[in-house]
C-alpha cells in the first residue's frame, strides 16, 4: 500500500515538533536537529519537516511505495504524466536510503516518487540530485 508524503520547510524544529506531535497525537518516528518525520497510519502519510533558511512552507509532495513492484508501477505512471522526469536512482537523503525520481506538476510543485529501503546516519549525499537546495532544506 502506498503512502502520501509531505515535506514542509520550517524555521524551528523544536516548535514544529511540538505542534505536529500534538496535532498527530504521536511523537516523531525520526528526529534529528534539522529534520523530523512521522510515519502515520491514520491518515496514512509520511509527514516530514526540515529546518530551512528559506521561506517556510511546502518543500515537496510525494508518493512512497512500500515495495519495489509498487515503485515500478509508480514510475510507469509518472512516465505517462506530462513533465520532465528526473531519475535519481539509489541515494541517501533525509536520513534514509531510497530509490527515487522526481517530476514537477503543471504549477511547478515537486513530486517525489520513492521507495525507502534503509536508514542513514547522514541527512544527505551532497552530490545527490535530491538534496540540492530544493530537498530536505539543506
CA distance 13 to 20: 10
Per-residue model confidence (pLDDT) at position 132: 43
Phi-psi region of 93 (alpha: psi -120 to 50; beta: other; left: phi over 0): beta
| 3 state SS of 18 | helix
**Could you read off the pLDDT of 32-60 as tens digits, one per residue?**
999 999 999 999 999 999 998 889 999 99
Q: What percent of the chain has pLDDT over 70?
A: 90
Query: Residue 127 above 90 pLDDT?
Result: no
Identify the band that residue 94 occupies on the pLDDT scale cut at 50, 70 and 90: confident
Edge-first strand order for the sheet with 35-41 is: 30-32, 35-41, 44-51, 3-10, 57-65, 110-119, 96-104, 86-93
Radius of gyration of the chain (CA): 14
> What value does the mean pLDDT take over residues 122-131?
60
Per-residue model confidence (pLDDT) at position 54: 87
**Could you read off the pLDDT of 67-93 as tens digits, one per residue?**
999 999 999 999 899 889 999 988 888
Identify the band that residue 126 occupies on the pLDDT scale cut at 50, 70 and 90: low
Instruction: Tell the CATH topology of 3-119.
Output: 2,3-Dihydroxybiphenyl 1,2-Dioxygenase; domain 1 (3.10.180)
Cell, residue 19: 505542534
Amino acid at each position: 500500500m502506498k503512502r502520501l508524503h509531505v515535506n514542509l520547510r520550517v524555521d524551528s524544529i523544536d516548535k514544529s515538533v511540538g505542534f505536529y506531535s500534538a496535532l498527530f497525537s504521536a511523537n516523531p518516528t525520526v528526529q534529528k536537529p534539522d529534520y523530523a518525520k512521522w510515519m502515520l497510519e491514520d491518515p496514512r502519510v509520511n509527514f516530514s519537516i526540515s529546518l530551512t533558511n528559506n521561506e517556510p512552507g511546502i518543500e515537496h509532495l510525494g508518493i512512497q511505495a512500500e515495495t519495489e513492484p509498487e515503485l515500478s508501477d509508480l514510475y510507469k505512471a509518472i512516465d505517462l504524466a506530462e513533465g520532465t522526469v528526473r531519475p535519481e536512482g539509489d541515494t541517501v537523503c533525509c536520513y534514509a536510503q531510497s530509490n527515487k525520481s522526481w517530476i514537477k506538476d503543471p504549477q511547478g510543485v515537486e513530486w517525489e516518487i520513492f521507495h525507502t529501503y534503509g536508514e542513514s546516519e547522514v541527512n544527505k549525499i551532497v552530490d545527490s540530485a535530491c538534496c540540492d537546495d530544493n530537498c530536505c532544506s539543506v
